[in-house]
Structure 1
Amino acid sequence: MEMMIRPLLMCFILCVVYATSKPTEKKDRIHHEEPLSHLEHDDSKGYDYDHEAFLGKEEAKTFDELTPEQSKHRLGLIVDRIDENKDGFVTEEELKAWIKKAQKKYIYDNVDRQWKDFDMNNDGLISWEEYKNVTYGTYLDDPEPDGEYNYKQMMARDERRFKTADKNGDMIADKEEFTAFLHPEDYEHMKNIVVLETMEDIDKNGDGFIDLQEYIGDMYNHEDEMEEPEWVATERQQFNEFRDKNKDGKMDKEETLDWILPSDYDHAEAEAKHLVYESDSDKDGKLTKEEIVNKYDLFVGSQATDFGEALVRHDEF
């Protein structure tokens, strides 16, 4: 079977591209959190930001053609899905989890596209053996130790990441576990793997740390005949003042984690708090379906409900 190029291999190839690219081009290893919406969050001007945050951009559009009654009905169905423990209440944590899931829809769509390529027996699961055979089948059939890429090393890294994503330890991934495998930067329990793989890529002398030379060398392909770009000096300063927190001249795992996966402002948490605050009429810290539906305009209500009602009236003729 033809070997498939997947994210890790693509990452390897990109490293080669970076190594041969213009020295003034900077590589950014920081995983930036996507905003919930690029719209302004100002409730006095409308709730479009909240709609996209709660539903995701594409799903929010579908509500723009619904009447208030239709919006309330569909919102009620969504509330049943948000209430994971089925106790009749939506907590801030459940709302936060829902918002994060809505914002990760593009990731899930990507996983869905790849799923059928790896689930060879169509059992709704992907085992490590299935993934390994599809991705590295050609190499396994005819190993080439002197080939262009070190597939043995890449396969070992994949297996280590697969084991970390596989929470129950059976080496068989369900959809969520496979998503964590393909997109580890988005999962709390996968952060150590992201850090470890990053350090392995940058730590050229193998001492388990990233020193200043390795840090700059990862971003900047130095050529003696060219003048060093200004941003390189800025990055040296960043390393000395902010990256190397304990001032020992190198970054350890914790410092590398702070660098590539910064614990910035949690947009989903802030939005969940906002939605609860605006909807919790009895101020008990959690929401009933009635409280949410009563504020449907905040969660899903369209600013174009007149257009939605016109469509319904048109259908009646």
Structure 2
Amino acid sequence: MLLGSLASLCALAAVAFAVPAQEKRIHHHADLSDHAHDDTHGFQYDHEAFLGKEEAKTFDQLTPDESKEKLAKIVDRIDTDKDGFVSHSELHYWIKHRQRRYIEENVNKHWNEYDMNQDGKISWEEYKNTTYGYYLGEEFDDIEDKATYKSMLMRDERRFKMADRDRDGIATREEFTAFLHPEEFDYMRDVVVQETVEDIDKNGDGKININEYIGDMFSPESGEPEPEWVQTERKQFSEIRDANKDGYLDANEVAHWILPGEVDHADNEAKHLIHATDTDKDGRLTLSELLHHLDFIRISTITDYGGMRVEGHDEL
């Protein structure tokens, strides 16, 4: 973004960092990973599902012996009945637990930033002034793409009001959690669907066609052939997502596609991880099997949702 002066540039940087970027877009993968679930490209999705996004980064930097030692500690924590095996239910619980922990830590990270008067609540005015305050007086006139910032402000206000169940203009911690992670709350269903349609619907007709659907996930380089997973997504669109077969996804069809209540991604990921690493096919995992597939795990969500710390005070 081009700005009129260095001062404006610095101020815009402050605004950009104040806006929680990852909360601006609702993801239908429920934060398992930012990567597509594509087994032909290094299993990065599984890596972050098993380890968590932040832990996956540090895990990649460990020596082989350090990786084995850390994985052993993680497996011991997943194996809650201490029978020496990781079952599907234990793995499913672990991934769900890491997801919940990620959300909790994410809310905590932003809480003090916005609770300016430290009264244990966050008003819309506090959030708005902290995030956009520098530009509110000028109505974003110093920003070349001011329409984008105005749109962000309107979108934030709409989501904040939806999260504010008692309509008092002030968010409790639970309401602020609903604001940052609306996909986790049933009463935020409509705004989840609305924002998803707005993000993907490039021609502004209020629905999603096949090109918009694919374009949101895959932008090919010149002459690059479509990978197999994209072709699978095309088939998913026409055979499953587009229930009424009119060539578009409307709001109801988008809801069935993205809302966590419709698809348990943690359950699917647990099944996939067991399928990929269960050498003897007995439906459960041992530390030996996981160590045998260490390269696969190095690149998965069980090692942390947003920064799992095996040592220390990270309690279940």
| Shorter-chain TM-score above 0.5 | yes
**Structure 1 162/238 Cα, relative in aligned 2: closer, same or farther at 3 Å?**
same
How many angstroms apart in 2 are the aligned matches of 1:255 and 1:33? Answer: 26
Could you say if the C-alpha distance between residues 11 and 180 of structure 1 is closer, same or farther in structure 2, counting changes exceeding 3 Å?
A: closer
Deviations 1:26-80 (A, max 9, x none): xxxxxx9999x977779692798889988x79xxxxxxxxxxxxxxxxxxxxxxx
Letter in 2 for 1:252: D
Alpha carbons of 1:176 and 1:47: their partners in 2 closer, same or farther (altered >3 Å)? farther
Question: Is residue 53–residue 103 contact of structure 1 (8 Å, CA) maintained in 2?
Answer: no
Give the direction of change, closer, same or farther, for the CA distance of 1:240–1:144 in structure 2 (3 Å limit). Answer: same
Residue 163 of structure 1 pairs with residue 201 of structure 2: no
> In structure 2, how many angstroms separate the alpha carbons of the residues matched to 1:128 and 1:148?
24
Q: 1:232 to 1:47 in 2, by over 3 A?
A: closer
- 1:227 paired residue number: 225
Q: 1:265 to 1:8 in 2, by over 3 A?
A: closer
What is the Cα deviation at residue 207 of structure 1? 1.5
Distance, in Å, in 2 between the alignment partners of 1:102 and 1:234 is: 29
Tell me if the contact between 2:23 and 2:180 (Cα under 8 Å) persists in the aligned partners.
no
* 8 Å CA contact retained: 2:207, 2:250: yes
Distance 1:33 1:192 in 2: 27
Determine helix, strand or coil for the equivalent of 2:18. coil
Q: How far apart, CA to CA, are the structure 2 residues paired with 1:41 and 1:241?
A: 39
Residue 138 of structure 2 is matched in structure 1 by: 142
Letter in 2 for 1:230: E
Q: Distance in 2 between matches of 1:194 and 1:34?
A: 26
**C-alpha separation in 2, matches of 1:102 and 1:232:** 28
Structure-2 separation of matches of 1:231 and 1:47: 32
Paired position in structure 2 for 1:172 = 170
SS in 1 for 2:126: helix
CA-atom RMSD in angstroms: 4.0
2:83 pairs with 1:45 = yes
**Residue 18 of structure 2 corresponds to which residue in structure 1?**
5
The normalised TM-score by structure 2 is 0.55
CA drift of 1:137 comes to 1.1
Contact 2:80 2:90 in 1 (8 A): no
In structure 1, what is the equivalent of residue 102 of structure 2? Answer: 106
CA positional deviation for 1:148: 3.8
Gaps of 5+ in 1: 19-23, 26-31, 58-99, 269-317
1:199 alignment partner AA: V
Call closer, same or farther: CA 1:225–1:163 in 2, change over 3 Å.
same
Hey, what does 1:212 align to over in structure 2?
210
State the one-letter code of the partner of 1:152. Answer: K
Decide which structure has the larger Cα Rg and report it.
1
Identity between Structure 1 and Structure 2 (%) = 47
Partner of 2:181: 183
Amino acid at match of 1:6: V
Q: TM-score, normalised by structure 1?
A: 0.55
Mean Cα displacement is larger for which, 183-192 or 42-51?
42-51
* 1:264 to 2:260 alignment: no
Once the two structures are superposed, residues 63-108 of structure 1 have per-residue CA deviations (whole angstroms, 9 ceiling, x without a partner) of xxxxxxxxxxxxxxxxxxxxxxxxxxxxxxxxxxxxx889623322
**Cα separation, partners in 2 of 1:204 and 1:42, compared to 1, 3 Å:** same
Mean Cα displacement is larger for which, 259-268 or 157-166? 259-268
Query: Aligned equivalents of 2:131 and 2:187: distance in 1?
Result: 24
CA offset digits 1:172-221 (Å, max 9, x no partner): 00110001101111111112211111100111121111111111111121
Write the letter of the residue equivalent to 2:101. K
Mark the CA change 1:128 to 1:224 in structure 2 (over 3 Å): closer, same or farther: same
* Count of paired positions: 209
- Give, as a single letter, the amino acid of the residue that structure 1 aligns with 2:18: I
CA distance in 2, matches of 1:34, 1:119: 33
Displacement of 1:7: 2.6
Cα distance in structure 1, aligned partners of 2:171 and 2:211: 39
Offset at 1:147?
Answer: 2.0
Of the two structures, which has the highest relative contact order with CA contacts closer than 8 Å and spacing of 6 or more? 2
